[in-house]
């Protein structure tokens, strides 16, 4: 039964990507309907937390666009990148890596994806290049962040071995940074230039997108635009601070005890970004009707529908077959300990979470006698969520790229994130192994 369910999952991705737009989500929802009503697969909970996060971030970015903030950013980038537009392919992933490293959550890149897409499009750079590398950079940073749940699980599991967190970070941060740089290089000249891309040209001719042009701001419009950008940047920085210093987040009594529970990072980002949207409307002239009609809001709707369908379908498939999948991975590790790297990759591609993958497999690896230095070196392999293009960040990235260059290929697996993902993870593990041999 699991193979039939997997076949339906892959068929939904293939057909949905051909339909385009919200089709990825609606076709996936149809597939989930078939699995639930005809094959008896119990559905998981819908991904309401992720959807709420995307709605709040899109609201902030859309109102910033309505206030002229995106035009202001494009104007700044136009002056800086005009002679060297390819720099955005380098700078955008590094920014996403740093912010994710300190925030401890890759979901913070939702705030950057629409900006990266618009900046690269208006600078004539193929958006697929910086977008795909930025998504992979954010994934890799999670497995090196001292405040991410995945790395904290690794710290706890290896505590009795005498390996200190500082040693682990001294391996994982350089390794994943090297992986990020390798991912950037792998896509630096990928695909035809934007002006020569047939999909982009077809969309231009059909009127699905408008040829980019830089709007020059003056006077009061310029002040409002600057204010909206400053507010957006401040919210992103505050999110990073909340990730680094949890004690700054408010705490509330738990439902079943008097023990205080901290506000989660995801909830904090939701509140911050939703507040940015309100402040942009109140103080920086962002008209709600203009925000809704903007390109970011339209792309956000596509992202929400797509994530509702495809993420719900994927989560339901894994949760319904969790015991069988994890059991197979544990048997593989028992027979071939070095296959732990493959097990981490496969489980994370299905579970769509570095932390959940670490919690499921790291204790098993240690129990089976896997050396701690080898386990630490292999840890970046828990970034397989790009393999099937169903993770919320990948789906959002494709939705925000109006040019159609960031997309799923004809055979599902030949999508925009495959090359930088495999290169980034492979280099991270290789560099991690070299550093682990020296440090541990």
pLDDT digits (tens, 9 = 90+) for 317-328: 888 888 888 788
Per-residue model confidence as pLDDT tens digits over 60-83: 988 998 998 888 877 776 666 666
When pLDDT is averaged across residues 76-92 and rounded to a whole number, the result is: 77
When pLDDT is averaged across residues 115-136 and rounded to a whole number, the result is: 90
Does the residue 11 lie in any domain?
A: no
Helix (H) / strand (E) containing 260: strand 260-262
Hey, what are 197's tokens?
Answer: 């891309």
When pLDDT is averaged across residues 421-432 and rounded to a whole number, the result is: 97
Does the residue 20 lie in any domain?
A: no
Which of the two residues, 281 and 233, has the higher pLDDT score?
281
Hey, what are 171's tokens?
Answer: 């391996």
Does the residue 342 lie in any domain?
A: yes
**Residues 134/424, Cβ–Cβ less than 8 Å:** no
- Ramachandran angles phi, psi of 230, nearest 5°: -60, -40
**Pairwise CA distance, residues 325 & 318, whole Å:** 8
**Pairwise CA distance, residues 360 & 241, whole Å:** 29
Per-residue model confidence as pLDDT tens digits over 102-113: 877 787 788 788
What confidence score (pLDDT) does residue 138 get? 93
**Residues 152/110, Cβ–Cβ less than 8 Å:** no
Count CA within 13 A, CB hemisphere, residue 213. Answer: 5
Name the range with the highest mean pLDDT among 92-96, 260-264, 358-362: 92-96
Residue 310: name the closest of 390, 241, 240, 384 by CA.
390
**Residues 43/316, Cβ–Cβ less than 8 Å:** yes
When pLDDT is averaged across residues 215-244 and rounded to a whole number, the result is: 85
Per-residue model confidence as pLDDT tens digits over 185-225: 999 999 898 888 888 888 877 767 665 555 677 788 899 99
What confidence score (pLDDT) does residue 245 get? 83
Q: What is the number of structural domains in the chain?
A: 1
SS3 101: helix
**Residues 90/310, Cβ–Cβ less than 8 Å:** no
Does the residue 37 lie in any domain?
A: no
Average pLDDT, the chain: 86
427-430's contacts with Cβ under 8 Å and 24+ in sequence apart are 427/178, 427/179, 427/182, 427/183, 428/140, 428/143, 428/175, 428/176, 428/178, 428/179, 428/380, 428/383, 429/175, 429/341, 429/377, 429/378, 429/380, 429/381
Does the residue 26 lie in any domain?
A: no
When pLDDT is averaged across residues 41-47 and rounded to a whole number, the result is: 90
Name the range with the highest mean pLDDT among 40-49, 141-150, 417-426: 417-426
> Given pLDDT bands bounded at 50, 70 and 90, which one contains residue 86?
confident
Q: Which domain holds residue 304?
A: 45-439
> Given pLDDT bands bounded at 50, 70 and 90, which one contains residue 432?
very high
- Is residue 241 over pLDDT 90? no
What confidence score (pLDDT) does residue 84 get? 75
**Pairwise CA distance, residues 421 & 300, whole Å:** 24
Share of the chain above pLDDT 70, in %: 95
Per-residue model confidence as pLDDT tens digits over 243-297: 778 888 898 887 766 778 888 877 888 899 899 999 999 999 999 889 998 878 8
Does the residue 234 lie in any domain?
A: yes
What confidence score (pLDDT) does residue 83 get? 65
Does the residue 6 lie in any domain?
A: no
Does the residue 336 lie in any domain?
A: yes
- Is residue 54 over pLDDT 90? no
- Ramachandran angles phi, psi of 179, nearest 5°: -65, -40
pTM greater than 0.85 (yes/no): no
Positive or negative, the Cα torsion across 258, 249, 103, 282?
positive
């Amino acid at each position: 039964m699991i193979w039939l369910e997997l076949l339906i999952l892959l068929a939904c991705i293939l057909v949905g990507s051909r339909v385009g737009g919200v089709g990825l989500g609606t076709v996936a929802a149809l597939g989930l309907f078939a699995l639930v009503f005809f094959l008896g697969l119990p559905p998981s909970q819908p991904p309401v937390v992720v959807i709420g996060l995307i709605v709040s971030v899109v609201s902030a970015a859309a109102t910033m666009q309505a206030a002229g903030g995106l035009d202001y950013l494009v104007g700044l980038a136009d002056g800086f990148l005009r002679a060297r537009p390819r720099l955005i392919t380098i700078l955008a992933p590094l920014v996403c890596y740093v912010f994710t490293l300190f925030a401890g959550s890759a979901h913070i890149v939702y705030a950057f994806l629409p900006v990266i897409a618009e900046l690269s499009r208006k600078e004539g750079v193929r958006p697929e290049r910086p977008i795909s590398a930025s998504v992979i950079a954010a994934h890799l940073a999670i497995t090196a962040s001292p405040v991410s749940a995945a790395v904290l699980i690794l710290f706890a599991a290896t505590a009795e071995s005498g390996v200190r967190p500082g040693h682990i970070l001294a391996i994982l941060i350089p390794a994943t940074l090297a992986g990020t740089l390798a991912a950037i290089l792998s896509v630096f000249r990928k695909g035809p230039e934007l002006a020569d891309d047939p999909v982009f040209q077809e969309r231009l001719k059909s009127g699905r997108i408008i040829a980019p042009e830089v709007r020059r701001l003056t006077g009061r419009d310029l002040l409002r635009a600057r204010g909206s950008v400053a507010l957006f940047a401040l919210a992103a920085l505050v999110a990073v601070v909340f990730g680094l210093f949890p004690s700054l987040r408010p705490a509330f009594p738990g439902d079943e005890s008097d023990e205080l529970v901290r506000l989660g990072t995801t909830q904090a980002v939701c509140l911050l970004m939703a507040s940015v949207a309100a402040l942009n409307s109140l103080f920086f002239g962002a008209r709600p009707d203009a925000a809704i009609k903007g390109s970011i809001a339209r792309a956000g709707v596509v992202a929400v529908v797509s994530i509702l369908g495809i993420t719900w379908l994927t989560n339901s498939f894994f949760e319904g077959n969790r015991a069988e999948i994890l059991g197979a991975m544990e048997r593989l590790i028992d027979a071939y300990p070095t296959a732990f790297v493959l097990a981490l990759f496969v489980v994370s591609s299905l579970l769509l979470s570095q932390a959940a993958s670490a919690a499921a497999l790291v204790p098993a690896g240690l129990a089976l006698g896997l050396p701690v230095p080898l386990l630490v070196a292999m840890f970046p392999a828990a970034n397989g969520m790009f393999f099937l293009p169903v993770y919320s960040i990948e789906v959002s990235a494709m939705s925000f790229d109006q040019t159609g260059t960031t997309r799923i290929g004809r055979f599902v697996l030949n999508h925009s994130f495959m090359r930088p993902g495999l290169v980034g993870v492979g280099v991270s593990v290789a560099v991690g192994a070299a550093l682990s041999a020296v440090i541990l």
